Structure 1
Amino acid sequence: MLLADRDRTAVGLIYKNYSSILLNVILRIVKYDDVAKDVLQDALLKIWRNSTNFDPSKGSLFTWLVRVCRNAAIDKTRSKDFKQRQKSEQSVDLVFISDTFGNESEANDKSVRELIFQLPEKQRTLISMSFFEGYSHPEISERLSIPLGTVKTRIRMALQHLRSIVE
C-alpha cells in the first residue's frame, strides 16, 4: 500500500479521491468553510505522519480517514481560537442586524431596540446582557442562576429569530 510505504503520491490520491467527502465530515462539525479547509489540511498531514497506524484488519481506509478527520475537527472546536471565533461571530450577528438599517446611528439604535423588543422577555434580557452590557455567557449564567446551556440556547434562538426578521 502506498500510504504505508510513505509514498508521496498516496496523500495526493487520498486528496483527489476523498477530499470532498472528508471536507463535508469536517464542515458538519466546525461549520466554517475556511476553518474546515484548514482542519482538512492538518488532518491530511496527520494521516501522512501516522500512516503506520492504519490497520486494514480493523477497518477500511475510508473509515480510518473519516475517523482521523472527525477527531481533528472535534479537537479544533475545543481550541481556544475556535471558541473565541464563535464569540466574535455572535457579536457580528448583532452588528449585521443593526447595519441592515439606514446609516443614521440614532435610526440604527431605534431599529435594533424595536427588533429586540419583539423577543420574549427571557431572550431579550440575555441579548441585552451579552451584547450591550458585555457579560460573558458564564457570567450571565451565574448572575441569573440559569444553566450555561440554557443561556447559550436562548441567545442562539434569539439571534436566529432576529436574523429571520431582518432577512
Structure 2
Amino acid sequence: MKITEKNFIEQMKKRNEKALEYVIDNYAWILKTVLKKHLFNLENLYEECMNDCLLAIWNNIHYYNPQKSSFKNWIAGIAKYKSIDYMRKYLKDLENGNIDDIVLASEDNSIKEILSNEISMETKKMLYSLSEEDREIFKKLYFEEKNMNEISKETGLSKSILYNRLSRGKKKMRKNISVKGDYENERL
C-alpha cells in the first residue's frame, strides 16, 4: 500500500513502518526545528532526542486527535517536551558529576545557565496560566515540597479541594501551553 498524506496516520495506527518513514521524510524538519530551539548548543543530544521523539510518535499515535490539533502541532509538542526532558537530564548530570572526573569549561557553565533559564521560563509560562491562589498551591507542593496536610493548614482548604484544584490546574496548563503556530512555517 502506498503511504500518503491521507492515510499515514491510519497506517501508523496499524503499525505499518512505512508510515513512520513517511513521517520522517515529511515531518522531521519540524522535530529538528524544535530540538534546535530547545537544545541549542547541545548538538550531541539531538540524535538521541530525535529518536526518542520518533519512538514517542510511534508509540502514542493512538492518542493523536485531529480535532484538537494538527499533526504538525502534535509532533512539535512531543519534541518540545522531549527536549525539555533532555535539558533537565543534562543539567542533573552536570550537577551530579564527580568533580574529579569532569572538567567543566566556562562554556559548559554558560550552557547550564541558559538551560536553567529556559526551564524556568517554561515553568513560569505554565504557572501563569493559573489563578494566583492556584499558583501558590502549585508552588507550595512542587517547589517548596510541602505535603498536602501542611498546605491544607496554611491555606485553610480541605485536602479534597486542594486535589481538585491541582487536577483542574494541570488540565488548564496542558490546555494553555500550546505550540500552535510556533513551528508550522519554519523549515530547516
Length-normalised TM-score, structure 2? 0.44
* RCO higher in structure (CA 8 A, sep ≥6): 2
**Based on CA coordinates, which of the two structures has the bigger radius of gyration?**
1
Length-normalised TM-score, structure 1? 0.49
